[in-house]
Structure 1
Amino acid sequence: MDITLANCCGNCGHHVKGQLCNVHEIITAETQACHAYEFRAVLSRESDCLKCAKFQTEHCAHPLKAGDGMLCTVYYPRISA
């Protein structure tokens, strides 16, 4: 079974201004989902390499540059239980 981040409107590049889908031209909620989903890469100071599940693994896109404070659009959050 593959586990992925939520493919919902809140993470979609088509979700404009937090409420309107520019593909379907309707108001949507952040928790809705559809097959037109397109990942929206967002950088955040809270999403640096040290908090990324891919850091120091073979899945890291930038293993020679990854480090404290680096921000990346392929960031994958660590799951904390």
Structure 2
Amino acid sequence: MSIRLGNSCINCDNLVEGNVCKVHGVKVGNSYTCDSFEMKATLKDKENCVTCVRYETSDCANPQKAAPGMSCAHWAPQSASA
């Protein structure tokens, strides 16, 4: 089994709203990956503790580690638009 850096469903172009894979038609999570992986054209580097709505609140998943520039799997946008 090979280890693939960044090949999780979160970085895949086949991930659609609701964390559903449009290729396989199933709900997926952060740790899923497959051979149909298609890297998104761009990755956003602005997603870190400072831009997270949970930063320095009681909802933060890692309050002892959270710091500017740090990323985590529980990041949530401060504002969203459709």
**Shorter-chain TM-score range:** 0.5 to 0.7
Percent identity reads: 23
Q: Work out the CA distance in 1 between the residues paired with 2:80 and 2:21.
A: 29
Name the TM-score, length of structure 1 as normaliser.
Answer: 0.53
Contact 1:53/1:78 (<8 A) preserved: yes
Distance in 2 (alpha carbons) for counterparts of 1:49 and 1:61: 11
Contact 1:53 1:76 (C-alpha < 8 Å) held by counterparts: yes
Q: Which residue does the alignment assign to 1:22?
A: 24
Partner of 1:38: 28
2:16 alignment counterpart: 9
> Quick check: 1:49–1:71 contact (8 Å CA) kept in 2?
yes
Aligned residue for 1:50, secondary structure, equals: helix
TM (norm. structure 2) is 0.52
Q: How many residues align?
A: 56
Q: Structure 1: any 5+ residue segments left out of the alignment?
A: 1-7, 16-20, 24-35
Aligned to 2:8: none
Distance 1:10 1:63, change over 3 A: same
- Between the aligned partners of 1:57 and 1:79, the Cα distance in structure 2 is 16
Q: Report if aligned partners of 1:11, 1:40 keep a CA contact under 8 Å in 2.
A: no
CA RMSD of aligned residues (A): 3.0
Where do 4+ consecutive residues of structure 1 move more than 3 Å? Answer: 36-41
Q: Which runs of 5+ in 2 are unaligned?
A: 1-14, 32-42
